[in-house]
Structure 1
Amino acid sequence: MAAMHPTHATVDRRALQRRVVRVLALGQVLGGLGVGATLALGALLVTEVSGSSAWSGMAATMNTLGAALLAVPLARLAQARGRRISLSTGAFTAMAGASVTIGAAVLSSFLVLLVGLALLGAGSALNLQSRFAATDLAPDDTRARDLSLVVWSTTIGAVLGPNLFEPGELIGRALGLPELTGGFVIALVAQALGALVYLTALRPDPLLLAVADGEAAGRDRPSSAGGLAVLRSSSPARRAVLTVALSHAVMVALMSMTPVHLTLQGASLSIVGLTISLHVAGMYALAPVFGWLADRSGRRATILLGQSLFVASLVLSWSGSASPVLVTVSLVLLGLGWSASTVAGSTLVAEAVPPADRPKLQGVSDLFMNLAGATGGALAGPVLALVGFDGLSAALLVLVAVVVLAHRGGAGPAPAGPHRGDPRD
């Protein structure tokens, strides 16, 4: 890491950590606002520019691919320059993506549009990195809670974003831009504000300070190994990354096929929309609860709770696939299972290596998480066509079993104190 380590010996770490979490939460709200305002619009814009609805899925695909490709470079930047520079660079990249997307609509260029949507994936990549930034200075007993508060703040932007379609239309019309591009103007402004927040408020940088603390104590010096090498050399790291990636794959696979299944069953669009809204609420609304639980009862116990919620969801969608009500309940449980598994699993990713090596592993984790989600979404369609919604649910139980077996009987580190076991256990 570059020789930029702050020497704030008198900094109150807990007070600084509280401020860092507040700054990251605000950045998440702004970033989530930009992502929420553009994801649905992206599919509509792709359809309009390409002239075919068959390409509409490319909006989500390019966003996910962009997030995956940018995860490691942003993590390397964090390794070299700290969270402040890395997160603000992600926001600037997302701004560029919004600008390119608007330009593509003006030019009616499909290929340029795909590039813009991929660059917008930086917004998703920095949102993922933000949750790890919340762990840099966090003590063991509140690390999962701090991470979960940043995850929870995504809810605000994710809920508000899709409701900005009409204001976006007014903005686009006022600027003389093509229809559907106003939401990308909102995303551009939101990411600009997010970059400003990171650049001005993340001082001192939490990652650089955490690394300086470790080096001052004569430990935690950065290794020369890359993220994949760190992953290969650490079984706790592999277990943590596996948990996050496969949990995301299960969630994306079932969630992405639910609208298709419900529509084929004759459900109205309002029912489909309500089901997805409740699912998203399950993903984010109770994240702080699972963070608190991971700190109190242990990371592994919370992950196993999340996998149990997955099992309940998949069994319900398997046995009740003909009932829109049961499918909706299943999607809520799916969101809760993802929340518990992702909060606790991401905390384990942060704890698997010293602060100096965290960005490397976190970048690899985000890469695999995005690739697993993209793969799960891509394979879910053919599986649905072959064996139906209930068959898809049954197939996903295999991934849950892999995660459970990975954590079964796993030992945690030595106890953290005399009063209770290490929360990482």
Structure 2
Amino acid sequence: MAKRQPTGFGGSARPPVVSPTVGNPPRGPDVLRRKVVGVLVAGQILGGVGMGATLSLGALLAAELSGSSAWSGMAATMSTLGAALLAVPLVRLAQASGRRVSLAAGSLLAAGGAVLAVAAAAGRSFPLLLVALLLLGAGSATNLQARFAATDLATDRSRAKDLSLVVWSTAVGAVLGPNLFEPGEAVGAALGLPLLTGAFIFSLLAQLAAAVVYRLGLRPDPLLSALAAQAVDQQKGESRAGAARLRSGGWEILRSNPLARYAVTSVALSHATMVALMSMTPVHLRDHGATLTVVGLTISLHVAGMYALSPFFGWLADRAGRLRTILVGQALLLASLLLAWHGASSQAAVTTSLVLLGLGWSASVVAGSALVAEAVGVAERPALQGVSDLAMNLAGALGGAVAGPVLTAWGYSGLGLSSMALVVVVIGWTGRRIGGVRRHDG
């Protein structure tokens, strides 16, 4: 195992010295790079609209078809599981056939999920809805892969900028999507579709459009172009080695590396906290008389909180340290849960709670993900990042699954109170690490 870089106060490692020519494709037409970024931005906006328009309605539809709000959390659970299960196959498809094929395939799978969701509502089939939500998770996996596609042809001078553009475009679509609830119901009524399925038509059209954008727009393919510009044999060797480490090495790292264990756990628990409260909020608001417009606005503001200040939290993690930024995130999550506990009967309080929830998630995941990358050497990063993504998705799925029964048994206030246990774990562990760094420096 490669030796970890020395870690300073705040948990940030000293960056290694890298040659400016290593890892960059030879200089090529800048117009091609800009074209690729533009195509990815368009695809991400469409994909974000498709996912945002259906995720919250999936919880409402799950509650209706199952006959109990206890099953409403399965919407977030199945979607998250779908993203986890399909992420690796889509990456392997990209390695074999390029980003163009992989991203288009992921969008088509999500479109198929939208069709099945409408069929499930028409046939009153809860099991079929679970399959539909699983396939809709392909949209999330595709969105994640598209961010990395923006770096295929980038240089050190443009990589962060290109990546940030694609990330921000995801937020644009995700914020717009939930506000299509009522227009979707109007379209659904005109087409004779069951209640709560109209927005899935928007999702279907958006995902099909995204697939067309990726398939036709990514020519030449950015990943295949980058591989052709470098030592192809070396790239293939690294990919095979990375795949082998992904199967076993990541778990070995977690057992032997305390910083890696802390970073992966912090990201996973923060994500579980966010999914648990977010996934139950549409059901809680609807049960208390909120309109679909209010539900859509609340989720839109939550998603804006997740993405709007992520560049600031990245800057804060670099300046103040990873650990301190994780503490900021946990403080925001705790404030969100306290507000959910005490203000469950107020729509304004619930909306504010969801905004704080998104901000806390953003700070914790941005800083925690930076620690995941810094906990090991470059050769071991793919293995650890793969395990981290798996843990994050599984924690989110478990959080969504448990949140439904908790909501049924103890209400929204009880859900906010019980979720504080996850935050307390991260705060305590972070405090111990900061204390350990101080003792080491002293």
- 2:143 corresponds in structure 1 to 127
Matching residue within 328, 348, 352 for 1:308: 328
Within-5 A mapping of 1:13-412? 16-140=32-156, 143-213=159-229, 215=231, 221-222=238-239, 223=241, 225-232=244-251, 241-256=264-279, 277-291=300-314, 297=318, 301-302=321-322, 304-314=324-334, 317-318=337-338, 321-322=341-342, 331-346=354-369, 364-379=387-402, 388=414, 389-390=416-417, 392-402=419-429
Does the 8 Å contact 2:179/2:300 carry over to 1? Answer: no
Q: Kindly indicate whether structure 1 or structure 2 has the higher relative contact order, using CA contacts under 8 Å at least 6 residues apart.
A: 2
Over 3 Å counting, the alpha-carbon distance change for 1:382 and 1:227 in structure 2 is same
Over 3 Å counting, the alpha-carbon distance change for 1:58 and 1:239 in structure 2 is closer
Over 3 Å counting, the alpha-carbon distance change for 1:102 and 1:406 in structure 2 is farther
- 2:21 corresponds in structure 1 to none
Q: For residue 59 of structure 1, report the CA deviation from its aligned partner.
A: 2.5
Q: Structure 2: 5+ residue runs without aligned partners?
A: 1-23, 438-442
- Give the match's secondary structure for 2:231: helix
Q: For residue 85 of structure 1, report the CA deviation from its aligned partner.
A: 1.9
Task: Give, as a single letter, the amino acid of the residue that structure 2 aligns with 1:338.
Answer: W
1:69-98 superposed Cα distances (whole Å, 9 cap, x missing partner): 222222222333332222111111111111
Does the 8 Å contact 2:263/2:368 carry over to 1? Answer: yes
Q: For residue 17 of structure 1, report the CA deviation from its aligned partner.
A: 4.3
Residue 28 of structure 2 is aligned to residue 11 of structure 1:
yes
The alignment of Structure 1 onto Structure 2 pairs a total of residues equal to 398
Q: For residue 166 of structure 1, report the CA deviation from its aligned partner.
A: 3.3
Q: Structure 1: 5+ residue runs without aligned partners?
A: 1-6, 411-425
Task: Give, as a single letter, the amino acid of the residue that structure 2 aligns with 1:373.
Answer: G
1:334-387 superposed Cα distances (whole Å, 9 cap, x missing partner): 3223223334555676787879995x7665443322111122334456778689
Give the Cα–Cα distance (whole angstroms) in 2 for the partners of residues 149 and 17 of structure 1. 13
Give the Cα–Cα distance (whole angstroms) in 1 for the partners of residues 389 and 92 of structure 2. 13
1:81-121 superposed Cα distances (whole Å, 9 cap, x missing partner): 33222211111111111122222333333322221221111
Over 3 Å counting, the alpha-carbon distance change for 1:143 and 1:94 in structure 2 is same
Percent of counterpart pairs with the same letter?
Answer: 58
Does the 8 Å contact 2:107/2:211 carry over to 1? Answer: yes
- Give the match's secondary structure for 1:221: helix
User: Which stretch has the larger CA shift, 168-177 or 68-77?
Assistant: 168-177
Task: Give, as a single letter, the amino acid of the residue that structure 2 aligns with 1:194.
Answer: A
Q: Normalized against structure 2, the TM-score is what?
A: 0.72
Give the Cα–Cα distance (whole angstroms) in 1 for the partners of residues 373 and 36 of structure 2. 16
Q: Normalized against structure 1, the TM-score is what?
A: 0.75
Over 3 Å counting, the alpha-carbon distance change for 1:315 and 1:357 in structure 2 is closer
